[in-house]
Structure 1
Amino acid sequence: MPADSTPAAKPTATPTPTPTPTAPQFSGRPADSIRAALLIAASIAAVWIAGQAAGAPPALIWAGALVVSTVSCWATGALPEPTATLLFFLCAVVLHIAPAPVVFSGFTSTAWWLMFGGAVTGVALRGTGLALRLADIIFHKRVNTYPQVIATVAMSAVGLAFLMPSTTGRVLLLMPIVLALSDRLGFRPGSNGRIGMVLTVAAASYMPPTSILPANIPNSVLLGAANSLYGINLSYGSYLLLHFPVLGALKTVVLVWLVCKLFPETAAMTPQPPAARTPMSKPETLLALLLALAVAAFATDAWHGISPAWISLAACIVCLLPGIGLVSPKALTEQVHLVPLLYVAGFLGLGAVVEHTGLGTAISAALLHWLPLAPGHTAGNVGALGAMGAVLGLMSTLPALPAVMTPLARDLATATGLPLETVLMLQVPVFSTVFFPYQSPPIVIAMQLGGVGLRHGTRLCLALAAITVVVLLPLDYLWWRLLGYLP
């Protein structure tokens, strides 16, 4: 057979290389878990030693160990927020620290539903473009410099407190507007400018308004408890005169200065075009009407008796109704995040556990026994009462502080020789001073909605608390003496 008659060999198909499976990417490092375990162990050991020395029952010691270790993880960021929260839920139930309905009561609280409803309406604000339009209206010609931006945000939050009694409601209304403005100014997520704007909303919505009655939950709790327990009616005008000049106005000035120092923004801000003059779209008009009704309902909740949480939930449902088109099911799934809701349920549940187990009452009774209180030592008595409130506030959330301290007010007044109303009013400087973000649910909600981590919030809270203790509280003491509230 001729050579060229040999049949050609079939080309061999090149096998497709099998892709090498990539190794799973783990979040964080093993050393982080080890450090968290050591922190938890140290917290448990410290509480156990202190509890044994005080002769506390084992159930109370375990409750204290759980609370201290959880708070330590939240405050230091040793564990991611959802991990620390889920660990709290698990240990509280498995170790029988409190019944499950108490541990998970955060999911049934009005604050949780207020945040959920606000998160949905926030999606609607961004999606319809109404947030950008409101940012133009509120901040037009007030965004030439970074300090001017921060000052305008702070004044907007404090001014709104005179109209809307719900701190979380103010946060949920302002945050989408501020985030929209941040985008327009060119402040990307993680930038100092964006962090500063978010933290200004968080702090200015809670701290200065504690001097306005009844702009916050602690104020309202104090107002109700003082009336029901002692028949004392706190006056709006006298309350404002006593607290607002230092804890409201001056603290707002310090907050603006501190945000600009801790989170300076040196990058040039994007020049702002003239305010938009285009007609509002139909979704914008509908959402604006819905928000106007919601704000009116927030401001008049004392009259109609409907909680702001259910008003927020009703607005959320309207946004989700088919045919309305303000928030689609896809947007609801992708833009309403689980982690902030989980964290809010966690610290609300922690406060419920502290109350259910009697931990707060036990600590306050022990502090009352050990505090150096004596009639005639006004400055020392005021400092001791402030320290007592600060310790109790670190163990739970600040909104619960008046519920714990007000029943003790008569005994404290007897021990110090101060008028009962003065002892009641001394709670305000305490719950207006925030050392860690977890102490104030609205601050945490604002940070979560704005995408700012606990590390930045803790940095601002500690710095502002230090200035408050060293500068503002002594000035407040002198102001009280000038008004005749302190001898």
Structure 2
Amino acid sequence: MTSACGQTLVAVTELDTDREPPLTVYATTPPRGPAARRTGAAPATRRPGTAPRSDGPDSARARRGRTRAIAPTALAVGALTLLYLVLPGPEAGLPAEGRITLVVFAGAVLAWTCTRWDDVFVSLAAALSLTLLGVLRPDELFGALGDGVIWLLIAAFVLAAALTAAGLPDRLAVALLTRAGSVRGLAHLLTAALVVSALLVPATSGRAALALPVFLAVARALPGRERVVRALSLLIPTVILLSAVATLTGAGAHLITVEVLRTATGEGIDFGGWLLAGLPLAVVGSHLAAELVLLLMTRRADRRRRLVLRQVDLVADGGSTPPRADRRAKSVAMLVCLIVLAWCTETWHGVEPALIALIGALAVTAPGVGTVSLSPALRSVPWSLLLFMAATAVLGGALLDSGAADWLMGTLLNGVAAGEASAAGFLALVVVVSTAAHLVLQSRSARSSVLVPLLVPAAVVFGLNPAAVAFASTAAAGFCHTLPSSAKPVAMFADLGSLPGYGRRDLLRLSALLAPLLAALVLGFAWFVWPHLGLPLR
């Protein structure tokens, strides 16, 4: 969707206005101050070549600033030290490695939630700490970067780059949106296009980047209809986040969930199984959210008013319509369809999804066949995301392998009787906590790395299928709409310059209604739909 609609890059330069003015060094004795002149006191002498000492308010503020910066760090270190001393040892069932893992994991969660440190830095520092402390072997840390899920995501981004270079997302958007005859029809056709994009483009931020120029083109084609434009500015990121559950590559958190399940139980969820369970939830949840956005942000007259969008209206700067697909574009589209089909039939042929994706990535970048060469396609891969995924997956695996997760959930659930009512209550609690977790942990991958390792042993206690519980938690954790900073797609559509966009109050109103709706939807699917799609709850 980027090639036809264009993008605008905005560079913001920040000036450092907090720098202290340079000190003046006098060639002779500095002038005496007023107090010294009044009393006749001799000026204080200082060693030649040294700057005068400043005891003014600026120096005091600087000292207070340093104190405020050091105090939280010292407090956190003290709290983690106290946690290590309070935690029991092997005599209580907590191995020494598990004790260390809990402390390091608590430190990572504390840094994710209470500091502005980069998420990748925190996760790598935590994984490195576990390695240096002997909980992890070096080959476990380095081997995480060579895991199949990392290669799967790399190849998926290459496939997405080939699709974008072929202009297929643009043509899909134009073909769907020009069929809209009303605002409601436009909203649901746009929702359908975004759901389909989840099957083609990995990661929510990548899909948001593709959808932004399409939204700008639609907004320009709707002059004087500010309420509709504002509604669409909120609808697009909402649907992008809710539809990510449709596919295994829709978010990095999904791959972390599968890796943790494979580490804990020996079995994960393959691409076809995830698609079969996630796509219906994505379709229903996305269209319900689209209808909710329309009801909250538009009037009945807006929704019923006739709408006519032409192809030329959806092209940036009034340019030409997207060109017809050439031979290479058709070849890429066919290859991607074959790759998705091979992913879905993994249980039949036994070829790993990462290997299939790598074959497809080489095919769509082959000379004379593909629409993009391999080197430019690799530049579109978000390597920081892959590092973050690898590090958080290592943390989740350490929680399970060290025995920390089993001990923690056994302690928390000690004395809880496993029964039908308690299992239902546990699942409801899991969904509610996962839905609200974005208020504490903004990173979707971090939420999965924290929750899923703890939920796997707890699900066994209640007699539930760990895969079903982990899937429900990951699906509910896809809700992150409360604040503009809660997710990258929401932030991307928060400030649109001169175009009318949604406000913070609009986001809060939507979240207040969408959060319980999504939680109820996930619970309904877990009990009544997914068992018929190969993901039983028990």
**TM-score category (smaller protein):** 0.5 to 0.7
Aligned partner of 2:290 in structure 1 is: 256
Say if 2:482 is the partner of 1:412. Answer: no
Whether the 8 Å contact between 1:128 and 1:283 is mirrored in structure 2 is yes
- Provide the C-alpha distance between the structure 1 equivalents of 2:119 and 2:417, rounded to a whole number of angstroms: 39
Quote the residue 1:102 is aligned against.
140
Paired position in structure 1 for 2:396 = 351
Which aligned pairs between 1:320-399 and structure 2 lie closer than 5 A?
320-324=365-369, 326-328=371-373, 331-332=376-377, 334-369=379-414, 372-373=416-417, 379=421, 382-384=424-426, 386-387=428-429, 398=448
Tell me how far 1:105 sits from its aligned partner. 3.9
Pairing 1:123–2:123 present: no
Change (3 A) 1:154 1:227: farther
* Mapped partners of 1:42, 1:222: distance in 2: 35
Alpha-carbon distance in 1 for matches of 2:469, 2:374: 48
- Spell out the pairing of 1:12-411 with structure 2 (5 A cutoff): 45-46=78-79, 48-50=81-83, 52-56=85-89, 59-75=97-113, 78-142=116-180, 145=183, 151-155=188-192, 178=211, 181-182=214-215, 184-185=217-218, 197-198=236-237, 200-206=239-245, 251-253=285-287, 255-256=289-290, 272-273=310-311, 276=321, 278-324=323-369, 326-328=371-373, 331-332=376-377, 334-369=379-414, 372-373=416-417, 379=421, 382-384=424-426, 386-387=428-429, 398=448, 411=461
CA pair 293-373 structure 1, distance change in 2 beyond 3 A: same
Residue by residue, what CA displacement relative to the aligned partner does 1:256-312 show, whole Å, maximum 9, x if unpaired? 367779999x9xx99652695843223312222221221222222222222222222
Counterpart CA distance in 2 for 1:293 and 1:102 is 33
Matched, 1:433 2:476: yes
Which amino acid letter does the alignment assign opposite residue 395 of structure 2?
L
Q: Kindly report the root-mean-square deviation, in angstroms, between the aligned alpha carbons of the 2 structures.
A: 5.8
Q: Distance in 2 between matches of 1:343 and 1:118?
A: 17
- The CA deviation at 1:134 is 2.3
Partner of 2:516: 467
CA distance, structure 1, for counterparts of residue 247 and residue 286 of structure 2: 6
Q: Contact conserved, 1:360 with 1:404, CA < 8 A, in 2?
A: yes
Q: Provide Cα deviations, 1:120-147, integer angstroms capped at 9, x if missing partner.
A: 22222222322211222344434964x7
Relative to the length of structure 2, the TM-score reads 0.56
Which whole-Å CA distance do the structure 1 matches of 2:308 and 2:114 have between them? 35
Give the deviation of 1:316 after TM superposition: 1.8
- Match of 2:476, SS? coil
Letter in 1 for 2:88: G
Deviates more, 1:294-303 or 1:389-398: 389-398
Q: Which amino acid aligns with 1:124?
A: A
Q: 1:90, CA displacement in angstroms?
A: 3.6
Number of equivalent positions = 415
Indicate how the Cα distance of structure 1 residues 345 and 227 shifts in structure 2: closer, same or farther if over 3 A, else same: closer
Indicate how the Cα distance of structure 1 residues 291 and 32 shifts in structure 2: closer, same or farther if over 3 A, else same: farther
**Residue-by-residue CA offset, 1:173-211 (whole Å, 9 max, x unaligned):** 966764563464369xxx9967853452233221799xx
CA distance in 2, matches of 1:70, 1:262: 38
Question: Cα 1:173–1:227, aligned 2, differ >3 Å: closer, same or farther?
Answer: same
Q: 109-118 or 67-76, which moves further after superposition?
A: 67-76
Q: Structure 1 residues 128 and 410, CA, compared in 2 at 3 Å: closer, same or farther?
A: closer
Residues 174 and 270 of structure 1, relative CA distance in 2, 3 Å threshold = farther
Q: Which whole-Å CA distance do the structure 2 matches of 1:313 and 1:33 have between them?
A: 50
**Conserved 8 A contact 1:122-1:176:** no
Question: In 1, are the aligned partners of 2:161 and 2:372 still within 8 Å (CA)?
Answer: yes
Distance 1:354 1:397, change over 3 A: farther
| Percent of aligned positions that are identical | 18
Classify 1:138/1:314 alpha carbon distance in 2 versus 1 (closer, same or farther; 3 Å): farther
The 1:403–1:67 alpha-carbon spacing in structure 2 relative to 1, beyond 3 Å, is closer
* Residue 408 of structure 1: how far off its partner (Å): 5.9
Closer/same/farther in 2, CA of residues 177 and 53 from structure 1, 3 Å limit: same
Output the TM-score relative to the length of structure 1.
0.61
Deviation at 1:390, TM superposition (A): 7.6
Secondary structure of the residue aligned to 1:369 is coil
Which residue of structure 2 lines up, in the alignment, with residue 20 of structure 1?
A: none
Task: Summarize the Cα distance change of 1:277–1:452 in structure 2 as closer, same or farther, 3 Å threshold.
Answer: closer
Counterpart in the other structure of 1:17:
none
Residues 208 and 432 in structure 1, CA contact (< 8 A), matched pair in contact too:
no
* 1:327 partner SS: coil
Amino acid at match of 1:103: L
Return closer, same or farther for 1:297/1:95 CA change in 2, 3 Å cut-off: same
2:424 counterpart letter in structure 1: V
**Cα 1:466–1:48, aligned 2, differ >3 Å: closer, same or farther?**
farther
Point out the more displaced range, 88-97 or 279-288: 88-97
Question: How far off is 1:387 after superposition?
Answer: 3.9
> Deviation at 1:434?
0.9
Secondary structure of the structure 2 residue equivalent to 1:341:
helix
Counterpart CA distance in 2 for 1:307 and 1:336 is: 21
SS in 1 for 2:414: helix
> Structure 1 residue 55: deviation in Å?
1.1
Taking the aligned partners of 1:168 and 1:467, their CA distance within structure 2 comes to: 28
Specify whether residues 221 and 463 from structure 1 end up closer, same or farther in structure 2 by C-alpha distance, changes over 3 A only.
Answer: farther
